[in-house]
Amino acid sequence: MEPRLACLACLDRTEPRLLEAALWIAAEHRQALEPRALLRSLDDLALQLDARLDGDASQSERAQALLRQLCEAGFRAAEWPLRPDAALLDEVLARRRGQPLSIALVALELARRLEIDLQGIGFPGHFLLRVPGADHLLEPFGGRRLYMSDCRQLLVDQFGANARLQATHLTPLTPRQMMQRLSRNLRELHRQGDQPLAALKDAQRVIEFGAAGVADHLARADLYRQLDCPQAQRYDLQHALLISEDDAERDQLRRRLEQLGTPATTLH
């Protein structure tokens, strides 16, 4: 099956398969990759973790213990500067290094196998995890507990003193939203690595997952500009103009469209 269709099929299952979906995303960039074979590589690790975790502990305690055991097994933060390998799940499984979301996806797969109820939280700039109903969140790298004061400080550290914690920052993401966030990460890492064609695959996938914003269309427009595709660039600029609610941004988009000129027409 074509990798993108296989990814969507994983997400549309009654019980979505997040890690397999992420591996199919990696397969768009690695033609020889076999996601199901890589999933089998987690079988031994799942058995080891199952033997070490306390079956009588609470869900929160088991989730935290799982993340600690993953850290001890070598699943940790990728080195800076980040490369696409930090978000391509085949490389994350091989090297045991990744971005927070990448490590969280491994944790969510193991939690599913071990019957631990764990959710992915779309915190700005740093993906987190949570057991439903718990009064804290969990850091993917080692399972540190984060309470509301910790989350506020994390937000300030990343975005400045004026940043304010909002309820939406603590909302669990759907499977599609998680794969869309992974695709955004890959888009930016490929772009920073001067790989515009690879970044374009990711940018197209972001929009295909739905609910794409102005920034997503502008990111793809910039890639089309870099690849000298003015017609495609115009489409994304026009779509961004259509959905933008910011007057200054809309004026800027109109100027960019004017600079592109009138599209060529074909006579029939």
pLDDT in tens, 52-98: 999 899 999 999 999 999 999 999 999 999 999 999 999 999 999 99
How is residue 72 annotated by DSSP? Answer: H
CATH of the domain at 72: 3.10.620
CATH of the domain at 249: 1.25.40
Please give the single-letter amino acid code of residue 251.
Answer: D
Strands of the 137-138 sheet, one edge to the other: 119-121, 128-130, 137-138, 145-146
- With beta carbons less than 8 A apart as the criterion, state whether 35 and 24 touch: yes
Do residues 12 and 141 both lie within one domain?
yes
Of 170, 196, 222, which closes a domain?
170
Rg (CA), the chain: 20
Return d(Cα 256, Cα 126) in angstroms, integer. 32
Do residues 53 and 111 both lie within one domain?
yes
Return d(Cα 224, Cα 226) in angstroms, integer. 5
Tell me: pLDDT of 159 over 50.
yes
Do residues 56 and 147 both lie within one domain?
yes
197 belongs to a structural domain:
yes
Question: Which residues 6+ apart lie within 8 Å of 54 measured at CB?
Answer: 61, 62, 65
- With beta carbons less than 8 A apart as the criterion, state whether 244 and 250 touch: yes
Whether this model's pTM surpasses 0.85: yes
Return d(Cα 243, Cα 125) in angstroms, integer. 24
Tell me: pLDDT of 40 over 70.
yes
268 belongs to a structural domain:
no
Q: How many domains does the structure of the chain reveal?
A: 2
Q: Which alpha helices (H) appear in the chain, and where do they start and end?
A: 3-11, 18-27, 35-40, 43-52, 59-72, 89-95, 100-113, 148-159, 175-192, 196-208, 214-226, 230-243, 247-260
For the segment 104-124, the average pLDDT, to the nearest whole number, is 97
Query: pLDDT tens for residues 211-231?
Result: 999 999 999 999 999 999 999
What phi and psi, each to the nearest 5 degrees, are found at residue 8? -65, -35
Alpha-carbon dihedral sign for residues 206, 220, 102, 165: negative
Do residues 61 and 137 both lie within one domain?
yes
Tell me the residue range of the domain where 68 lies.
Answer: 3-170
